[in-house]
A and B are shown apart, each in its own frame.
Chain A
C-alpha cells in the first residue's frame, strides 16, 4: 500500500479542471438555496449555457461572446425558475425538473437545426476556446525543486474561468457574510416574514439570488464547452449539476466547504480516469462504478445525518405568501 502514489501531479491537475464546473455550479446553488429557492435545475442551466456558449463561439469565433451567450441562456432559465417558483408560487422541485428536460431537449433540437451535426456544435479552436494562461514566473521557477513543478503544473496553465471559479469562493463568502445584501439574502432563506416586516422585498431578494445562480451556472456551462472540452455534445453535463447539488449538501451550504467538497468530488472523477494509479497505490483493483457512485453515496450518508447532520435553510422550498 502506497497512499502517496494517489497524490499524482497529473491527477491533481485534472482534479482542478474537473472541480471547476462543479464548484461554479455548487456556488450557484448556494446562492439560490440560501435565499430559500431549491434548485435541482443546475444541470439544465449548465447544459443550456454549454450549448449556447459553444454555438456562439463557433459562429463568431469569439469565446467571450460565447461566454456572454451562455450566461444569457442560463439566466433565461433562471428567470423561468423564478417566475414559476417565486411569482406563481409553484413547486420549486417540479420547476427544476422541467428546466432540466427543457435544456436537454432544446439544446439538441437547436444544435441540429443550426449545425446539422447530430446535436453537436463544430469543434472549437483558436479564439473560440479559453486557452490556459501561463502565470508569471512559471517557466523560470520550474527548476525549483517541489514548488517549481507544483506551481507550473498545478497552479499555472489553467484557463481564466478556473481562476474566476476559485476567486468566487472568498467572493461568495464575502458577499454572504460581510455585506448587507448577503445578510438579507440569508435571512430570506431562513425567515422571509421577518425580512418582509423589515420592509425589504422578499420577491426582489429571491430574484436577485436566482439571477446570481443563473450567472454562475452560465460560467460553469461555458467552461465545460469552451474550456474543458472543445465544443458541445449532447448531454455533456452528464450529471455534473447533480454532483454539484450533492457537494452543496456535503458542504452544508457554506462557501469554503463547497470548495473542499467539489475538490473531493473532482478528485474522484479524476482518479476514476486512472485505474492504474489506484491499483498501484492500494494493491487491488477498485471498480470504476464504485468511484462513479461514491459522490452520491457520500451525500446520502451525510444526508442521513450519521456524520454530522446537514440542515438546509429553514424556509427552503416554501413559497412566500404575504399575509393579507
Chain B
C-alpha cells in the first residue's frame, strides 16, 4: 500500500498532473497561433493584478468551494455526485423564494434564512437519487445526470410561468429587496481602511464558504459520522460488518453533498445577480468535480483548487476580452485537469511508485524481505 511517502501522494502527484494539464493547454494555445507566455501573463495580471481581478477570482472561487466540497464529501463515501449542477439550480430557487417572499429586517438574517433554504432545496434534489441508490441500487451517476436535466426543466417552468413578474419578457424573477442584498468585499473592507474594488462581485458568502470548508474538515476527520462515511467509502463490506448502515451513510453523505451544492446559490444568486435567472449556475456544478479531484477530496485541497479555478475563470474571461482566444479555453483546461487528476491518475502514479520503490530497495537491500507489490 504505502509505496510512496505521504508528501508525494498529497503534493507530488497532483502537481505533476497539473503540470501535464498546463503543458497540454500551452500546446493548445500554440496550436491556435497565440503565445502561451503572453497568455499566462495576461491571465495573472487580469485575475490577480488588481482588487477588481481578485474580486472576480474570489467570487468564482466561492462557487467552486461549495460545489467542490459537495463532490468531495460524496467521494469520501465512494459516491460520484455529478448532479451538483441541478442541486445548485434548485438551491437558487430556494434562495429566490426566501429573498422574495420573506421580509427580512437585515441582510445577516436574510443570509441565514437563504442559506438554510438553499441547503434544503439542494438536499431535497439530491435526496431522490440518494434514496434510489440506497434502496433500489439505481446507479447514482445516471440518476444525478438525469436530475440535472429535470432541474433545468423545472427552473425553466418556474421562471417562465410562475415567478416572472407581470409584464416582463425576461425569464427571471423580480430583483430581491434591498434588505436581502449582501455586502460585497468592498463594503466589508472599507471600514477596515482597505480599499477594494467596488465593481467586483465577491461578497460575504466567501466567508460562509470558508466556514463550510472548516466545518466539513471537522465532520470528516473529527466526528463519528465522518469516520463512518470514510469507512464506508473504503470498504462497504467492512463498514457493514462494523454495524454501519449503508442506507444511512448513502443518504446522509448525499444530503450533505446536495445541501453544499445548493448553498452555492447564496453567492451567485443572492450575492451577485440579486435575482434568479435561467442558467445561473453556469457549469459551476461540473467544475466542482475538477476541484474535488484536484484537491484530493480534502477541504484544504478543495479550498486551494477552488481559488486556482477561480483564477483560471477570471483569467480566461480576460483572455477572451483582450485576445482572440475564446473563453472555451477554460473548458479545455478544466477537461485536462479532470483527465489527468481523475481518469489518468494511474498514468502519473505508476511510474512514481516504481521510482520510490526502486529508491527504497536500494537503501535497504535485505535479501529475505519480500518486495512490496505496487497497489493494483
Contacts and interface: CB of A to CB of B under 8 A. Distances in A.
A165 to B, nearest CB: 23
A84 B334 CA distance: 17
Interface stretch (A98-106, A149-157, A190-198): A98-106
Interface string B201-230: 000000000000000000000000000000
Given A40-B145, A289-B153, A300-B146, A84 B344 contact: yes
Interface stretch (A89-97, A125-133, A200-208): A89-97
B149 A293 contact: yes
Given A98-B338, A245-B142, A297 B326 contact: no
Interface in B170-202: none
B27 to A, nearest CB: 12
Contact of B329 (A84, A105, A116, A289): A105
B347 interface: yes
A290 interface: yes
A30 interface: no
Contacts of A40: 141, 145
B77 to A, nearest CB: 15
Interface string B341-353: 0111111001000
Nearest to A239: B149
Interface in B273-308: 286, 289, 293
Contacts of A245: 142, 145
A228 interface: no
Contacts of A305: 136-138
Contact of A321 (B137, B333, B376): B376
B155 to A, nearest CB: 9
B161 interface: yes
Given A90-B346, A98-B335, A110 B32 contact: yes
Contacts of A95: 339, 342-344
A211 to B, nearest CB: 18
Contact of A84 (B147, B328, B335, B339): B339
Contacts of A60: none
Interface string B25-69: 000100111000000000000000000000000000000000000
A94 B338 contact: yes
A305 B336 CA distance: 36
Contacts of B156: 289, 292
Interface in A214-240: 239
B153 A105 contact: no
A112 to B, nearest CB: 5
Contacts of B328: 104-106, 108-109, 112, 119
A108 B344 CA distance: 24
A287 B376 CA distance: 51
A64 to B, nearest CB: 26
B82 interface: yes
Given A104-B331, A105-B334, A303 B342 contact: no
B343 A94 contact: yes
A324 interface: yes
Contacts of A104: 328, 331, 335
B373 A101 contact: no
Contact of A98 (B149, B160, B329, B339): B339
Contacts of A85: 343
B154 A102 contact: no
B347 A91 contact: no
8 contacts: A90-B347, A97-B289, A97-B338, A106-B328, A109-B28, A246-B146, A300-B138, A305-B137
Given A99-B339, A105-B334, A239-B149, 4 more contacts: A40-B145, A93-B82, A95-B343, A98-B335
